[in-house]
């Protein structure tokens, strides 16, 4: 009997703490309760929390707010917001249009968030704080996953690069003849640049957005490997004698990469743009009419 009463009052007390000081952890609550003469261990606190669906700070704050966040302090509101972002992200996996499905690791979540920020603001204007906020972490926590901002950048770049190069190769292989292979590769390239996941978009125009030569140099190898794909496609073309294939490649890649600067949705599709560019360079636009 006494036991039962005690048990109930301990549970009530745990719930009171969850309501009054939602940010206290299990050991902090157990400690405080024990200091006040009650017998409970941290795992006991956790057991009661789980029973009521209150096992994380976010859940406790959510229960407390009940849709009305005004009752929370600024601090608590931020905490809640962050937790919700993190939960949403790891559920959804991808946060952009392309691909998706499988849940991503936190490392990948960070890469994707960073890609979006890098692509829209550039490397220098994107802070670790921005990236952290986007994945529901605090700045310092990001460093558990990546040793430096530069490594995040390189990670994003290599991920996007890996994706886009695989797709370009695949598309090219499906072509019937050299011109068709080039056309397909270009479609994928432009499409990745303007419609792809953020990691892919970065890959293309990042080359212009990085001002840091040291970072740039670390990427050069990847860029050269990518250029090699196009070099081979262009070397295979049956073109007029005397044409400078190197300048042809640079012209085509430049025109395509610049699309990222002027592209606005709706007017032309990536396919239209790429097809048009390849065709103009193939047949010329001159007409004596």
Per CB under 7 A, residues contacting DNA are 25, 27-28, 75, 79, 82, 86, 106, 126-130, 136-141, 143-145, 147-150
Residue 266 lies near its own copies (rule: CB under 8 A): no
Task: Please list every residue from 110 through 169 that binds its own copies, using CB under 8 A.
Answer: 120-122, 124-125
Contact pattern from residue 171 through residue 210 relative to its own copies, giving x for each residue in contact according to CB under 8 A and a dash for the rest: --------x-------------------------x-xxx-
> Given the complex with DNA, which of 82 and 198 has the nearer CB atom?
82
The tally of CA atoms less than 13 A away on the side-chain side of residue 193 is 27
The encoded tokens of residue 73 equal 């302090």
Which of DNA, its own copies, none is residue 143 near (CB under 5 to 8 Å by kind)?
DNA
Positions in 220-259 near its own copies (CB under 8 A): 237-241, 243-244, 247-248, 250-259
148 binds, among its own copies, DNA, none (CB under 5 to 8 A by kind): DNA
Residue 109 Cβ vs its own copies, minimum distance, rounded to whole Å: 23
CA distances from 52 to 19, 25, 28, 49, 72 (A): 12, 15, 18, 5, 20
Q: Residues binding its own copies: what is the number (CB under 8 A)?
A: 47
* Site membership for its own copies, residue 284 (CB under 8 A): yes
Which tokens belong to 104? 């991503």
Cβ-contact 55, 46 below 8 angstroms: yes
153 CB-near residues (< 8 Å, 6+ apart): 114, 118, 123, 215
| CB of residue 250 to its own copies, shortest distance in Å | 6
Q: What span, in angstroms and rounded, lies between the C-alpha atoms of 187 and 195?
A: 11
Within 10 Å of residue 153's Cβ, how many Cβ atoms? 24
Nearest distance from C-beta of residue 11 to DNA, angstroms? 21
Please name the residues in contact with 124: beta carbons below 8 A apart, sequence gap of 6 or more: 211
Q: Treating both helix axes as pointing N-terminal to C-terminal, what angle do 149-173 and 213-235 enclose, rounded to 10 degrees?
A: 0
Residue ranges in contact with its own copies by CB under 8 A: 120-122, 124-125, 179, 205, 207-209, 211-212, 237-241, 243-244, 247-248, 250-259, 261-262, 268, 273, 276-277, 280-289
């Amino acid at each position: 009997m006494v036991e039962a009463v005690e048990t109930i009052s301990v549970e009530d007390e745990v719930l009171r703490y969850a309501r009054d000081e939602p940010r206290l952890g299990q050991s902090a609550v157990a400690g405080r309760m024990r200091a006040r003469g009650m017998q409970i261990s941290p795992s006991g606190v956790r057991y009661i929390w789980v029973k009521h669906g209150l096992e994380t700070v976010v859940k406790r704050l959510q229960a407390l707010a009940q849709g009305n966040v005004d009752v929370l302090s600024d601090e608590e509101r931020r905490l809640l917001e962050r937790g919700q972002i993190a939960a949403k992200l790891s559920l959804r996996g991808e946060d952009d249009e392309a691909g998706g499905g499988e849940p991503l690791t936190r490392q990948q979540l960070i890469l994707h968030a960073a890609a979006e920020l890098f692509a829209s603001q550039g490397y220098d204007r994107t802070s670790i704080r921005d990236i952290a906020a986007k994945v529901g972490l605090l700045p310092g926590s990001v460093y558990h996953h990546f040793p430096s901002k530069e490594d995040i950048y390189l990670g994003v770049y290599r991920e996007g690069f890996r994706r886009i190069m695989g797709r370009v190769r695949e598309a090219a292989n499906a072509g019937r003849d050299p011109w068709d292979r080039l056309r397909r590769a270009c479609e994928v390239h432009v499409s990745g640049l303007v419609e792809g996941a953020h990691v892919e978009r970065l890959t293309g125009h990042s080359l212009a957005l990085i001002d840091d030569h040291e970072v740039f140099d670390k990427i050069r190898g990847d860029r050269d490997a990518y250029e090699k794909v196009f070099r081979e496609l262009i070397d295979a073309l049956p073109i007029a004698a005397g044409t400078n294939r190197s300048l042809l490649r640079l012209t085509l890649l430049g025109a395509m990469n610049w699309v990222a600067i002027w592209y606005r949705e709706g007017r032309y599709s990536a396919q239209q743009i790429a097809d048009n560019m390849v065709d103009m360079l193939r047949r010329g636009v001159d007409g004596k009419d």
